[in-house]
Amino acid sequence: MNGTADRVAIVTGGSGGIGRAVVERLAADGTAVVVHYAGNRQRAEQTVAEVVSAGGRAIAVGGDVADEQEMESVFDAAEREFGGIDVLAHTAGIMPLAPIAQMDLETFDRVQRTNVRGTFVVDRLAARRMRPGGAIVNFSTSVTRLQIPGYGAYAASKGAVEAITLILARELRGRDITVNAVSPGPTATPLFFEGKTEEQVEGIAAGNPMGRLGEPDDIAEMVAFLAGPARWVNGQVLHVNGAAA
């Protein structure tokens, strides 16, 4: 395995929330980072500027995670700019919430397209193009075990992500590439706060044995572990949630 100073990572959804924390954490280890974004180019470029000003290496590249040609361009940029690909941290996802009986099928399809097809697209590219010693880190959710009403479409999509992760780890036998999924609990990001009252947020935080929400840096620490030293952790779903589930 290459040292972290020689490694190159693609972080999907890297312009904000957990993705941005992952970018900053990997860059701090000396990893060159491709900051992928879906729509907010300005925020991605700001993330890149902060990494570069701290002495790191990063570029921003946009694309729809569910569009193979657009994501192939992201992988092309990583190889062109930094020479190869060693890490995929696939944090990108969407989380519209509604009870199953009330969610329209258009929204359901959009969730599955981004979260399931998007994971399949980027994982397939990584499986084809990643160097030996690499690490694929997908993102699930602790909601798959919590069964919270309103999360049906989202939890279903992340159940599929877990299945893709566990099977791909076995399919890459002999390649020296690990494949794992990180499963955060409630984490203080704009995606989590959207649509929740202050009372709801306080109740969720109080329900955790640690007495707080997770922070993006908590999750990024696990990604850094899987992206670098954790060579004997493979084909696993790791719940990073302060014992929320």
Q: Are 91 and 18 in contact (CB under 8 A)?
A: yes
Q: How far apart are CA 69 and CA 198, in angstroms?
A: 41
From 37, 108, 151, 154, the catalytic residue: 154
The total of other beta-carbon atoms located within 10 Å of residue 113's CB is: 16
Strand, coil or helix: what is 133? coil
Q: How far apart are CA 23 and CA 18, in angstroms?
A: 9
Q: Are 41 and 62 in contact (CB under 8 A)?
A: yes
DSSP 166-230: HHHHHHTTTS--EEEEEEE-SBSSHHHHTT--HHHHHHHHHHSTTSS-B-HHHHHHHHHHHHTT-
Which residue do the tokens 């570029």 mark? 59
Burial of 30 (0-12, 13-18, 19+ CB in 10 A): middle
Q: Catalytic annotation on 37? A: no
Edge-first strand order for the sheet with 237-240 is: 58-62, 32-37, 8-12, 87-90, 135-139, 178-184, 237-240
Any idea which residues carry the catalytic annotation?
154
